[in-house]
Amino acid sequence: MKIHGLQKMTLLDFPGRVACTVFLGGCDFRCPFCHNFELIDGTAQPVSDDAELLSFLEKRRGLLDGVAFTGGEPCLHKDLPELMKKIRDLGFGVKLDTNGAHPALLRDMLDTGLVDYVAMDIKNSPEKYAVTCGMETVDLAPIRESIGILMRGDTDYEFRTTVVKEFHEEADFEKIGEWIRGARRYFLQCFTDRDSVPFGNLHAPTGDEMRKFAQIVSFYVPETQLRGID
């Protein structure tokens, strides 16, 4: 498997763990606010492969205790479960970031105990999902199935939304809240611009707007928090 990026240590990406973050290429979506679009459009070249990753982890046992897979969309890589098993055999926990479009693989990874924590994106309210993903249409059935898998399962998880002023408003968070009512936890994280974002002229909501959005969802998901907002 080709590895497109490696953050060698993070205290933020994997709750409760000192982890490294592994970036995999490819994605189903084309979100105009994506921070890692170079992983999507093919401009980012691989930096290593799975053998080199396992060698790195061998040397980091005792220093790290987790590996977070992100992208792109890691679940596009059908050999990911095999790599996860090798990582777990080395004694590391595994976290998965996903857009929820691959429920069958997600269920398999959870049922076989390969993943300790899942962070799933909820891009927007159902009516605005496609435009927020940069797509003409998005089949929401797999998204709904993945939500159900996480909410009915035993694996720890969070739902999260990157909030962009041009794409999100109060009514969207009412609908998101209804969609994930009773979820374990939900995070709203503010969009921040950078050179790799594919679409210009996007903006972050104000802190007051973010707090209002969080207040709306907290009626449905009591553990609703802001990430990156004071």
Cβ atoms of 49 and 3 closer than 8 Å: yes
Please name the residues in contact with 156: beta carbons below 8 A apart, sequence gap of 6 or more.
15, 116, 117, 118, 184
Domains and CATH numbers, the chain: 2-227 (3.20.20.70)
Query: What is the chain's pLDDT, residue by residue, as a tens digit (230 residues)?
Result: 999 999 999 999 999 999 999 999 999 999 999 888 788 876 778 889 999 999 999 999 999 999 999 998 999 999 999 999 999 999 999 999 999 999 999 999 999 999 999 999 999 999 999 999 999 999 999 999 999 999 999 999 999 999 999 999 999 999 999 999 999 999 999 998 877 676 678 999 999 999 999 999 999 999 999 998 76
pTM: 0.95
Could you give phi then psi for residue 9, rounded to 5 degrees? -155, 135
Distances (CA, A) of 151 to 21, 40, 155, 180: 25, 29, 9, 8
Q: What share of the chain is helix, strand, coil (3-state, %, to 5)?
A: 35, 20, 45
At 132, list the tokens: 């927020």
